[in-house]
Amino acid sequence: MGTSDCRLRRYRVYVTNRMLRHMKDYRLLSCSSKNDKAGVLQELEKGVGANLVDYDKRTALHLASCEGCTEVVVLLLERGADVNPIDRWGRTPLSDARSFGHEDICKILVAQGGIDPVGLDAQNPCYEIDFNEVDMEKAILIGEGAFGEVYRVKWRGTEVAAKTIRSSIASNPRVRSDFMKELALWQKLRHPNIVQFLGVLKQSDRLIFLTEYLRNGSLFDILRKRGRLDPQTAVAYALDIARGMNYLHRHKPHAIIHRDLTPRNVLQDESGHFKVTDFGLSKIALAKDAGSYKMTGCTGSYRYMAPEVYRRESYGKSVDVFSFAMIVYEMFHGGPSNRAQTPEQVADKRAYEDYRPPLSSHIQPESVRALLRECWHKNPDCRPTFEEIIGQLEKIQESMQYDKTMRGSCSCAIL
């Protein structure tokens, strides 16, 4: 049997096992979202826990609150459902009930102590910029991503980036509201290695937001033009990215997970420093099954996707560390490994065969190789934090500078 047959078989066994394990449990979740009170009762009587979660950490109470199933909400609460479970996006059932305007359910949840951490953010609306202050007529197209086109425009005499969101995405009220919440969070962030959010254009029929404009473009463009970087440059760039990511991961009260860290989402300013952009937005691409999300993956982010994300398992901050390792690898190598394979094939091999790029002689010094092995470790708990990565990169940078100085002084002595 060929490798791909083996992989397919292993994947099917994995999916079947997973389905068998969860089939009975999923009935509770699906009945809750369909207002099937009798079905929910049956499942609870069979012993399925009221606080069961799916892979997005969504409970039956989340789904019932989202879909306006008041009777099911009451039943679940009576049967011991936690009123404030937090899903993968930091949302509680009250967040969902509010988003969909189910007032009666909001009252029930609040009376039971329900809180809405996302709603608190939403009370801080995005800074709005008057549409007339931006000359969209003279906008210059600079790129296109999964969400829409990006233009260079002038706002109050300054060049900025205007990111437009496709109407197919922005016209969905839930997606639009989620987008606004992500942007409201983004506008509070300030760090030298994070792209600065400026505001949302008001009086526009489209959803457009402005960020600072980074003249040198993305790391993707830079690697395409320059190929492999010299080790000192690669380490300096890696430090910029790690510092931006550490800031996001250490955000309070909840860490911000990027989920789509790729060379396209790392931009360089005129002074040569890198800034991370588009954090958190990847989750907003709606999956077919309403109410849940999927990673975008469509513009090549599969190449940077951590195995646990590809396998649709629950995941945490360390998925960004995995993506970071792939980016660092590309800086030393001059681009992605396995170019002959599609990004999805690469992600599949990594997820099911534990395949990693070969550490060629270009990747020097040895401490960089060691760091890469740690960062793309198959066990997410064994990957270092960005704080630790920064410490290691600073040491590598120091030793590189020391070696350079020593080489310089040696040649002086010879002369």
| Sequence-ordered list of residues with C-beta below 8 angstroms from that of 94, at least 6 positions apart, any chain | 65, 83, 84, 106, 109, 110, 114, 115, 116, 119
Of 97 and 279, CB closest to ligand ATP:
279
CB of 380 to ligand ATP, least distance (A): 22
Query: Which CB atom, from 98 or from 163, has the smaller least distance to ligand ATP?
Result: 163
Binds ligand ATP by CB under 6 A, chosen from 267, 276, 372, 396 = 267
- Say if residues 194 and 244 touch (Cβ distance below 8 Å): yes
CB of 218 to ligand ATP, least distance (A): 4
> Closest separation between CB of residue 221 and ligand ATP, Å?
6
Read off the tokens for 116. Answer: 């809405």
DSSP percent split of the chain into helix, strand, coil, nearest 5: 50, 10, 35
**Which one, 92 or 282, has the nearer CB to ligand ATP?**
282
Q: Which of 42, 84, 299, 367 binds ligand ATP (CB under 6 A)?
A: 299
Rounded to the nearest whole angstrom, what is the least distance from the CB of residue 304 to ligand ATP in the complex? 10
Minimal distance in Å, beta carbon 389 to ligand ATP? Answer: 22
Is residue 293 within the footprint of ligand ATP (CB under 6 A)? no
Q: Residues with Cβ < 8 Å from 292, sequence gap 6 or more?
A: 54, 56, 58
Q: What is the length of the chain?
A: 415
143 binds ligand ATP, rule: CB under 6 A: yes
Shortest gap between Cβ of 248 and ligand ATP (angstroms)?
16
DSSP conformation class of 335: S
Q: Are strands 197-202 and 128-130 parallel, antiparallel or unpaired?
A: parallel
Pairing state between β 149-155 and 197-202: unpaired
Residue 368 near ligand ATP by CB under 6 A = no
53 is a site residue for ligand ATP (CB under 6 A): no
253 prior amide bond cis, ω within 30: yes
The single residue among 68, 85, 90, 145 that binds ligand ATP, judged by CB under 6 A, is 145
- Token pair belonging to 97: 């009930």
- Give which of 397, 364, 375, 391 is closest to 243, Cα–Cα: 391
Q: Which position among 59, 246, 296, 318 is part of the footprint of ligand ATP (CB under 6 A)?
A: 296
* Residue choice 85, 119, 217, 335 for contact with ligand ATP (CB under 6 A): 217
Considering CB under 6 A, how many residues would be counted as binding ligand ATP? 24
Of the listed 87, 121, 240, 260, which one is catalytic? 260
Q: Which of 258, 264, 273, 333 binds ligand ATP (CB under 6 A)?
A: 264
**Which of 110, 160, 112 is closest to 134 using CA atoms?**
160
Residue among 278, 308, 330, 348 that touches ligand ATP (CB under 6 A): 278
Q: Would you give the binding string for ligand ATP spanning residues 169-208, x where CB under 6 A is met?
A: --------------------------x-------------
Nearer to ligand ATP, 219 or 239 (CB): 219
Q: By CB under 6 A, which span of 4-12, 257-265, 363-371, 377-385 interacts with ligand ATP? A: 257-265
Give the list of residues 6+ apart from residue 378 with CB closer than 8 angstroms, or none.
307, 354
Task: Please report the DSSP string for 229-282 in residue order.
Answer: PPHHHHHHHHHHHHHHHHHHHT-SSSPPP-S---GGGEEE-TTS-EEE--TTGG
Q: Which stretch binds ligand ATP (CB under 6 A): 79-87, 184-192, 241-249, 261-269?
A: 261-269
For residue 129, the cross-strand partners are 201
What region does 363 belong to: left with phi over 0, alpha with psi -120 to 50, or beta?
beta
**Is 260 tagged catalytic?**
yes
Closest residue by beta carbon to ligand ATP: 145
Is there binding between residue 150 and ligand ATP (CB under 6 A)? yes
Interatomic CA distance for residues 181 and 138, integer angstroms: 29
Least separation, in Å, of the C-beta of 217 and ligand ATP? 5
How far apart are alpha carbons 115 and 120 in whole angstroms?
Answer: 9
Figure out which of the listed residues 108, 161, 183, 331 binds ligand ATP, where binding follows CB under 6 A.
161
The correct pick among 70, 211, 246, 318 for binding ligand ATP (CB under 6 A) is 211
CA Rg, the chain, in Å?
A: 24
Annotated binding site for ATP: 163
Provide the binding-site residues for ligand ATP, judged by CB under 6 A: 142-147, 150, 161, 163, 195, 211, 213-214, 217-218, 221, 260, 264-265, 267, 277-278, 296, 299
What is the set of active-site residues? 260
